[in-house]
Structure 1
Amino acid sequence: MFAAASSLTTTTISSKSSLGGYRGKEVVQKSRSSMMRSTARRNNVNVVVRAEAQKTIDMNESRTYYFCIANADFMLNDENNEHFPEILRERRRFYRETEKLQDFWIVPNPTFLDAMPEIKKKIRQPCVAVMTTDEVWNTFIKLRMDRVYKGSVEGTGAELLKSNELIAADAFPPVDPAKWTAPYNKYSPGWWEVFYPGADWTQGYQATVNPLAEEGVERTGA
């Protein structure tokens, strides 16, 4: 079976709650000296923020959740998709540095797929969905990953981000070093767990901001 179908299907799960909104940040110009002081303060704040769990959008508000879904091995373990963890890591870094509310997740074996039997049978199991409320970013993921099924569902995060079963860190066979030709080490098993709904983004964050900064440093965590 294919990793995923390539067509676009939009399915709606009804909900009674209303859509939520977002507030932008105010940008104020400052003098050079005040900018230096502000930078120092921001650096101190970043240390505090990194010690806290990432804040998310309201899971009880109904909204549209967009997803790209495919076979778990293709999404999480295929060596041709090594750019996928990097995409998520960079987005996580941006969200934490700008204190943006988390609006994207990795959802293994999502329960909402049970209501879409025609789609589910096209996707080799077990499967993984990347879910977000950002339609533009979802389209970007589709273009980067290619062989994934793209769609959307309507409802609350509490309803739609549930999993029938998680993907274990040892779900895939270890990599044979003799067959690994990339100029960097493979991500450690279970790198995806930090992107599960409710997971703490601080895990592995500071230690792996730039895993390629030093030659020979193993890429651990996410």
Structure 2
Amino acid sequence: MDTARHLPRLRFARLRMTDPAVARALFADLLGWAPAHAPDRLAFHGPGLSVEVSTPTDPPATTGAPDLLGWQVPDLLDWQRHCHRQGLSVTDGGLLGPGSALQLAAGETGGCTLEFSERMEGRCAPPTLTSEGRPGPGPHSLAAIELRVRAPERVAAHWGRLLGLPIVRQDGLPAVATPCGTLCFLPAQEQADAGIDGLRMRPAEAGLLSRWSHQRALGRLPAGHWMAGGLRLRCD
């Protein structure tokens, strides 16, 4: 698990929002992500990452863990051994049936549920292609996902060892750098507050986020943050 070719790749996130209409406006209108063709779930496909949104209007027990990050790994059995060597308890589960994915519950990770799978067809869309068959420029990508945790330094170090990814600093707090964006760990006052708390766009898109937020009359928080459907938004 210590070579680059064995590193997991972040491909999927499930997060909570209070309003499905705001979720559609955020991901489809602001970020330009493609809505998933799935009548039973609210999901969007972006560049390298797909997001599923759970809301209070969802039927009970239809979305699974409310906060989840899905990782693609080359060898699921090898990854299971890796987790066991670290003393972690994994459970079997996934969209493709038993044996298709492994999960680490939030109690094992200190932040949110982590899911690992070799196949991501049930979670992610293929890359956008141009008419010439090459990857297209695509919509806006995320710079970072923010997670609230009780002990940011300890949890970030735990994730860094588990995922084999480097620890960096963002605004004085620890973060894990992935090819699809950074995972930033912010302090949570209570364990009930832990989970995916916010999204960061890139600095070049600050004007776009500001105009969109004003058009929707979103409340602005200190340091240029906005709240959209219970999710914190900012530009990195």
Give the TM-score normalised by the residue count of structure 2: 0.24
More helix by share: 1
More strand by share: 2
